[in-house]
Amino acid sequence: MAIRGILPIFAICMLAGGQPAVGEVSSWGQAQSLPEGTKIEVLLASNKTVTGTVAQVSPEGLALTRKHDSLQLARSDIRRVWSLGKGSRLKNAGIAALGGFGVGCAIGAAKAVTLSDMNNPSVGTRVGYCGAIGGLFGGAAAGVTAAIPATKRTLVYRAPDVKP
């Protein structure tokens, strides 16, 4: 029963991530407008991901510079291009705190019987354990997430799907 209450909260937290819609198709013109030196991530047709900075973008493809080498990628080999920017650690920590609180709250309310050593604990007891365990889980999730560097990915180009 407690799981039903957590699923909508979890779904909302996952949707708040800001990922672009699956059906969204960008034009190559947006990729061509990327300034030189922009950090990007490219998904190739071979499902390999390449990260680097833009050296040049042309109608035929793009050139990337990486730490030790440079790459020429043909437009036909590119599935998606994302520009990478600085993300918000605070936003990510807040989302993780909400998710952690939701999971911890459900666990605390469900385990109130065992933790309080009562056969049928009152609603107030369940709410107390919900808040305590939810706060513990939420704080831990926020702390761990805040320590991870945040990167904001913005979809710049998505190749049209070719059906055989």
- φ, ψ for residue 117, nearest 5 deg: 60, 45
Whether 23 maps to a domain, the answer reads no
32 and 75 within one domain: yes
154 and 125 within one domain: no
Whether 22 maps to a domain, the answer reads no
Mean pLDDT of 120-141: 91
Whether 61 and 25 have beta carbons less than 8 Å apart is answered as no
Whether 21 maps to a domain, the answer reads no
Q: Which domain holds residue 43?
A: 28-87+150-158
51-100 residue pLDDT tens: 999 999 998 999 999 988 999 999 989 999 999 988 889 999 999 999 99
Q: What is the pLDDT of residue 23?
A: 43
Instruction: Tell me the average pLDDT of the chain.
Output: 83
Q: Taking the model in full, what pTM does it have?
A: 0.57
92 and 72 within one domain: no
Whether 137 maps to a domain, the answer reads yes
13-38 residue pLDDT tens: 555 554 444 444 457 888 888 889 99
